[in-house]
Amino acid sequence: MRTRRERSPAGQVVVGVAVIVVGMLFLLDNLGWLDFDFDFQFWPMILIVAGSLKLMQARSSKSQLVGGGLLLFGLLLMLKGMGLIYISWRVMAPLVMIAVGLMVVFRSAKQRKDGAGDAIFGMSKEEDGGNVVNMTAILGASVRRCVSQDYRGGELTAMMGGCELDLRDASINGDVYVHVFAMMGGITIKIPADWQVELEGTPILGGFDEKTVLAKGTGKRLIVRGYAIMGGVEVRN
């Protein structure tokens, strides 16, 4: 077993800036120059950071929609908490439901086009022979088994849900990238024993874990990039 992780410089910059901003807000609040209630503003800040990171790694319009939604929702909550705008939950809750409904419709329209295996408020379990596998799980579970002999990567998103991608019957040529985003959820990737793995993820109150046997000289390398925010990403044989 081994664990190897390299962190994304861009992700580290975003996290560093977020820490600096929070520190400045604490300082201004302690000096009495700003009245900032962290009990109400913590989650909006998490959503804003998560949305920004998701937009940075987005490889599809669906991912951009998820990142933009997180960012917009976080900004609205923060502005509401600071008293700059007034939006009641009687308005906010239906807007969230409408956004989720649009995501479901968008998922259904694009599912066959981009090979997406999604689970929103439910469970999806499929077998796929496509070269690219994209999965999204929001308050649900998505399980996918890929058997392609020329797997070329994809994008996995889990928000308060779980994604499981089984690649043990698949094969790759050279370096292949998988982009992951786990927020209060989990992502599991199962790979063959002859693949090498590199983790280039950034954990934020979460973790990346690799549990694979050491493979050398095979020329097959899976590179996992992304973020784990109060969630986890695991790669194993």
Retrieve residue 137's tokens: 């799980």
pLDDT, position 235 = 94
Which residues have a Cβ under 8 Å from the Cβ of 90 and sit 6 or more positions away?
Answer: none
Residue 65: which H helix or E strand, with range? helix 61-81
CA atoms within 13 A on the CB side of 209: 12
Round to whole Å and give the CA distance between 60 and 102: 16
**The two three-digit tokens of residue 4, written as one number:** 């190897």
Torsion angle defined by CA atoms of residues 131, 134, 140 and 142, in that order, rounded to the nearest 10 degrees:
10
pLDDT confidence of residue 197: 92
What pLDDT was estimated at residue 124?
Answer: 57
Q: Each residue's pLDDT tens digit in the chain (237 positions)?
A: 444 444 555 556 766 676 777 777 777 777 777 666 655 567 788 888 888 888 888 777 777 878 888 888 888 887 877 777 777 767 777 777 777 677 666 666 655 554 445 555 455 555 666 788 888 888 888 899 999 999 999 999 998 889 999 999 999 998 999 999 999 899 999 999 989 999 988 888 889 999 988 877 778 999 999 999 989 999 998
Closest CA to 159 of 235, 95, 21, 65: 65
- Res 36: pLDDT: 61
83 secondary structure, DSSP code: T
Distance set, CA 185 to CA 10, 16, 181, 229 (Å):
22, 23, 9, 8
Angle at 50 between CA 212 and CA 198, to 5 degrees: 20
| pLDDT at residue 62, as a whole number | 72
